[in-house]
Amino acid sequence: MMINAKTAATPALLPAGGSTAAIRCERAAAELRYGRPVLIRGNDGATLAALALDAADRAAYEAFGAALGDRHDLFLTPTRAAVLGLTAPTGALLPLGGIGFAEACHLGYLRGAFRLRDWREGGPLESEAALAARLALLLPAVVCGRVTADNPAFADAVSLELGDLDAANLANLGRFEVVARTEVPLKGIESAEFVIFRGGLAQRDQVAIVVGDPDRSRPVPVRVHSSCITGDLFGSLKCDCGDQLRGGLKTLEERGGGVLIYLDQEGRGTGIAAKMRAYGMQGEGLDTIDADAQLGFGADERRYEAAAAMLSGLDINRVDLLTNNPLKVAYLRACGIDVVSRTPVLGPLTAQNTGYLRTKSRRGGHMLDQLFEG
Ligand SMILES: Nc1nc2c(ncn2[C@@H]2O[C@H](COP(=O)(O)OP(=O)(O)OP(=O)(O)O)[C@@H](O)[C@H]2O)c(=O)[nH]1
Ligand SMILES: [Zn+2]
């Protein structure tokens, strides 16, 4: 049979006009992780080339500097700039002309004494580049510089539009879909159904565990737990995560049913590599917040849109949240979840986790008084 190409309705294989903001972000993240430069285009025609210092090697760093005629800078987040003694609310740009790879890494994310020369404030393009590095689970120290459209060194580079990261996050909110659900027998828990959602940036798979048969006519007990490979899986004594995970599941069962959302947000959203770097610095005496600041991160880099979308997908809106973290409550409320009440979720205080938990209480605002008084 002949098909008339003009009249047959064929679904669009690729979106008209090329890629979406989300796809540009994911392509850029992949390039950055391979130590390759990406371009960020502003509204005014200005274009920034950026390379994530964390993933680049010496050769890539030197080639980038050469392509920019040695007029490149190191962008540091406001937090990292403060570690270097600079007050830079929009981040700091340190000129890299004549500075080698090792010294750039030192300035970007290592501890120590610094010889700072001139610097200036960063702008929105540089901040977007650092955000892209974070999306790629890299440290937010970015080597960057303005380029012209005719610079042949960047002819094949993937490019982002300014604002893509925000647009992509928003656009992906409604796109969490259930791809699988099945019962998995868990030690000490009568009934647990794993519900796997796919969505958000990078279309990653995220896990919700429905324990028992939650009563949706009342606020549903919910634990939103960020992954902690060291604590959840290997029983690290440095934190309370493993105890909170297992204790949380037990509480959901005792309450007649509830949901645990297990979010792919290792290291408060910084990733396992950054968390281990931070642990190294904690071994040198820094607390959990100051160690993250050395690497350029704020006290908590997590987002909860995925959790809110998954709860909605499970037809749950009114919740009793199992947490000690008031920021988590506020964030979920801002995402439209009606957090009616909060239930503390405490693990035992041990010699190894006391310092960490005390910092969370004193500097992170976590409600842990009960633990320290008890
Ligand atoms: N960057 C960093 N992350 C850590 C450290 N210790 C634990 N984490 C991470 O902290 C997060 C803890 O997650 P949660 O237990 O869900 O959250 P929370 O903020 O402690 O709040 P609640 O447990 O709900 O009270 C996980 O992503 C861990 O991987 C640390 O020293 N540095
Ligand atoms: Zn942990």
- Tally the domains of the chain: 2
Q: Which of 170, 189, 220 is the last residue of a domain?
A: 170
Whether residue 282 is annotated as binding a ligand: the answer is no
- 51 and 138 part of one domain: yes
Look at residues 170, 203, 225 and tell me which one is the last residue of a structural domain: 170
Confidence (pLDDT) at 1:
45
Q: Is 302 a catalytic residue?
A: yes
Burial class (CB in 10 A: 0-12, 13-18, 19+), 21: buried
Any binding-site annotation on 228?
yes
**pLDDT attached to residue 264:** 92
- Assess whether 50 and 67 both reside in one domain: yes
Task: Give residue 241 CA to ligand 2 midpoint distance, Å.
Answer: 4
* Strand, coil or helix: 76: strand
Q: Is the distance from the beta carbon of residue 323 to the nearest atom of ligand 1 less than 6 Å?
A: yes
Q: Please give the model's pTM, rounded to 2 decimal places.
A: 0.92
Please tell me the predicted confidence (pLDDT) of residue 354. Answer: 83
Last residue of a domain, one of 151, 170, 189: 170
Kindly report the protein residue whose alpha carbon is nearest to atom 22 of ligand 1: 323
Which domain, by its residues, includes 37?
A: 20-170
Q: Is residue 91 part of a domain?
A: yes
Q: Which of 239, 350, 371 to mutate to test the pocket of ligand 1 (most atoms within 8 A of CB)?
A: 239
Catalytic residue among 166, 213, 300, 303: 300
For ligand 1, say whether the CB of 24 is within 6 Å of any of its atoms: no
Q: Which of 241, 197, 252, 249 is nearest to 347 (CA)?
A: 241
Helices (H), ranges, 237-353: 241-254, 266-269, 272-283, 288-294, 305-313, 326-334
239 is in an annotated binding site: yes
Report the pLDDT value the prediction gives residue 365, as an integer from 0 to 100: 80
CA pair distance 6, 8, nearest whole angstrom: 6
Helix (H) or strand (E) holding 356: helix 354-362
- Domain identity same for 258 and 138: no
Write out the chain's pLDDT in tens, 374 residues.
444 545 556 666 666 666 789 999 999 999 999 999 999 999 888 999 999 999 999 999 999 999 999 999 999 999 999 999 999 999 999 999 999 999 999 999 999 888 787 999 999 999 999 999 999 999 999 999 999 988 999 999 999 999 999 888 887 777 899 999 999 999 999 999 999 999 888 788 999 999 999 999 999 999 999 999 999 999 999 999 999 999 999 999 999 999 999 999 999 999 999 999 999 999 999 999 999 999 999 999 899 999 999 999 999 999 999 999 999 999 999 999 999 999 999 888 888 888 887 887 888 888 877 777 75
